[in-house]
Structure 1
């Protein structure tokens, strides 16, 4: 493979292998979700595919379970007793502008890909936060702000190179079933050390977020539901109920407030984007359905922006924090479902929830490529709930998050692997149809451990 050397030759230094008593262990195992403190028996800081091969073979020889981590966004347990392969340093990125392809190390983040692709006028189909790892996002399908127009992230995975459970380097060019499994099958197929990802000639967006008073949620959510069904595929939106901390880093009007965060993106012109978003902006000039005052925005940040500023749309947290999360795919979103959500996460509810978010799907997400394992493509909406897992709340937080997903159970049609949350403990439930599940199981038997 002509591109492989770009990743594997990033450094020739030997990998650091650390146990809990070694300096640097805590930094090596640190994860973005700090609800768990990883405590593997050993951590190997891989710097090349060969380092990963050696780590897997050592784990097999010593009978240690194998774990893998790049950013640690999806950490679901403490990894006790395992050999953890850290891919954080296997993060080289090379852009082939003629082919419109990024060659990406298994530990790279979307921020690194965006930074490398932007000078070429190119962009990836990434998620709402560029701090997430490329590999984990793509293996779980990968829904993002441009997915209604371009499909999920894994639709743009062209090739991958991985280390199998037997400690062998494997390339998807040699097995289309393996590529199909990596496009949404999530985990259990080995350790991905390199990916080739298609890029697109996208340089700017019209988008951002509007913050509205949380008390307006009973008006905003039904209006948003009706509005998103009218949007063309080049436009996407989500809406979140946010309970913001009294953090001085936040703008003063948002500190310590319960707000509705309405997000919007389109690749159309600023004029067309403004026209599409106008019905939701006009909501602030109308009357509340409960007879109250008009819904005046706290802040309106929807505007023309470079693609490289895409993180500003959702404004997801960028610093590690302890969280517990859960999700559901929804087959429909009637008024009764909105009422059920508001009853557990809306105005007047005393809850430790940080966020209860609805995302509108559809469009190109529903059209699967020939090689594909993405679950839940046909679901029009997704729900995601997030709460802090800090000591005073640790006993109640999982119950609260479960309460949000339970509230929408009558309309639930599955879940997305990347949004399953901590409650699944790293074990994937039955998300796929029988034929896909059978195929994925066979691929795991061939390449996994």
Structure 2
């Protein structure tokens, strides 16, 4: 067994107290939570006490670990910060890990990598484990192993009455936590399955944004040929003139092709060859050749997974939204290019397409993940900085609306602030009724 953990003394803070601002700070800085009280829990007992206090004082309970999913100011609530519940204990023989409710994926990877094991996590290891799992959780390993919540084996949850419930004794609760997202108590611990993945062949290829009209259709056709152990996404990125970026990327509009496989480097290179052929002047069909700006795909340890998407690591103000897509015909690609492609003046940072399918489509018996059959996902992101903040939500919505004819729902982990916590059409009627019943029971 191996573990990593953090332990410090507990704290209950009001807005006037030193440390309050740091305790409530979000990764998405567009939201500035202002709960009446914040309890920095260091143990499940702290969570129990906080929930009971909230009930006694008539305050709703809110929960935050990393602040990726906060969508309001949380005024009038008692916030439980679970960020210090970050212990990770690995059982390499069983290929499992017991993870505190506030841990981030980087802590899990640090504990599992020495054993040649990996979790199904997302494109950024800075995201909280619990929030990712409760929303289903898509990542580079999902086409081979399923979404993150498929590997949620057990959870300990504090109910609205302060009772501690283990899902071994409550299969309906486990089913709700596997993709139902919010409203099922305060998760203080999860147990997850791990997989024998120590390395990947993967990374990103940066291409001129002007080539998007050539690259996107080629990518759509190419991903249809990939086996389940391979995964890809592609993004239209408008990068800032940031000196921290490599000079060839500063201030540029680029296409970012991402690729990973658990296959060998030779097999991975063979799978990627059709896209590299497009870029190296080796096309036999006489089509347009695309010169890459940088090809960063190669052999890598799984612990370097963040380098594939190269997501931001520092808090920033953003507005985002998503959609699940039934397909990606030429008309859908044209619709995306019309709002986010070459020649479009837009404050967008990113418009991204992710390939799904494979093991994502195979649900376990206890499950609440929405949209498993969607072959693609769309994600759009814009910066909420003063000069464009008034228009960014409209622009992001415009990207999602442009692909509405092919939309079959959305990802719970990427709903915009004005839809967060609102089920909408994410689940079918039977699943939604089951989730609502479980939520009502947990907060009774």
TM-score grouping bracket, smaller chain normalisation: over 0.9
Structure 2 counterpart of 1:158: 153
> Is the counterpart of residue 376 in structure 1 residue 371 in structure 2?
yes
Q: Which of 238, 241, 247 is matched with 1:243 structurally?
A: 238
Structure 1 counterpart of 2:413: 418
2:120 aligns to what SS in structure 1? coil
Kept after mapping to 2: 8 A contact 1:326/1:423: no
Structure 2 counterpart of 1:408: 403
CA-CA distance at 1:286 after TM superposition: 4.4
Root mean square deviation of aligned Cα: 1.7
- TM-score where L is the length of structure 2: 0.97
Rounded to whole Å, the distance in 2 between the matches of 1:425 and 1:175 is 26
Alignment deviations for residues 124-174 of structure 1 (CA, whole Å, 9 cap, x no partner):
111100000000000000000010000000000000001111111111000
2:418 aligns to what SS in structure 1? helix
CA-CA distance at 1:421 after TM superposition: 2.8
Structure 1 counterpart of 2:123: 128
1:402 aligns to what SS in structure 2? helix
Rounded to whole Å, the distance in 2 between the matches of 1:232 and 1:79 is 44
> Is the counterpart of residue 441 in structure 1 residue 403 in structure 2?
no
Structure 1 counterpart of 2:191: 196
Rounded to whole Å, the distance in 2 between the matches of 1:426 and 1:318 is 25
Matches within 5 A, 1:192-271: 192-271=187-266
CA-CA distance at 1:260 after TM superposition: 0.1
The list of structure 1 runs, each at least 4 consecutive aligned residues, that deviate by more than 3 angstroms after superposition, is 9-13
Kept after mapping to 2: 8 A contact 1:70/1:107: yes
> Is the counterpart of residue 98 in structure 1 residue 102 in structure 2?
no
Rounded to whole Å, the distance in 1 between the matches of 2:70 and 2:187 is 17
Alignment deviations for residues 61-107 of structure 1 (CA, whole Å, 9 cap, x no partner):
11112110000111111111111100011111111111111100000
1:424 aligns to what SS in structure 2? coil
Kept after mapping to 2: 8 A contact 1:118/1:203: yes
Alignment deviations for residues 267-290 of structure 1 (CA, whole Å, 9 cap, x no partner):
0000000000011111113499xx
Kept after mapping to 1: 8 A contact 2:214/2:288: no
Q: Which of 53, 57, 81 is matched with 2:52 structurally?
A: 57
Matches within 5 A, 1:16-165: 16-165=11-160
Alignment deviations for residues 335-392 of structure 1 (CA, whole Å, 9 cap, x no partner):
0000000000000100000000000100000000111110000000000000001122
Rounded to whole Å, the distance in 1 between the matches of 2:350 and 2:409 is 20
Query: Runs of 5+ in structure 2 lacking a partner?
Result: none
Rounded to whole Å, the distance in 2 between the matches of 1:270 and 1:411 is 35
Kept after mapping to 2: 8 A contact 1:365/1:377: yes
Kept after mapping to 1: 8 A contact 2:13/2:37: yes
Q: Which of 273, 278, 282 is matched with 1:283 structurally?
A: 278
2:201 aligns to what SS in structure 1? strand
Query: Runs of 5+ in structure 1 lacking a partner?
Result: none
Structure 2 counterpart of 1:390: 385
Rounded to whole Å, the distance in 2 between the matches of 1:217 and 1:254 is 16
2:408 aligns to what SS in structure 1? strand
Aligned residues: 441
Kept after mapping to 2: 8 A contact 1:287/1:293: no
CA-CA distance at 1:120 after TM superposition: 1.1
Rounded to whole Å, the distance in 1 between the matches of 2:226 and 2:27 is 34
- TM-score where L is the length of structure 1: 0.96
Structure 2 counterpart of 1:273: 268
Kept after mapping to 2: 8 A contact 1:366/1:378: yes
CA-CA distance at 1:201 after TM superposition: 1.1
CA-CA distance at 1:294 after TM superposition: 2.5
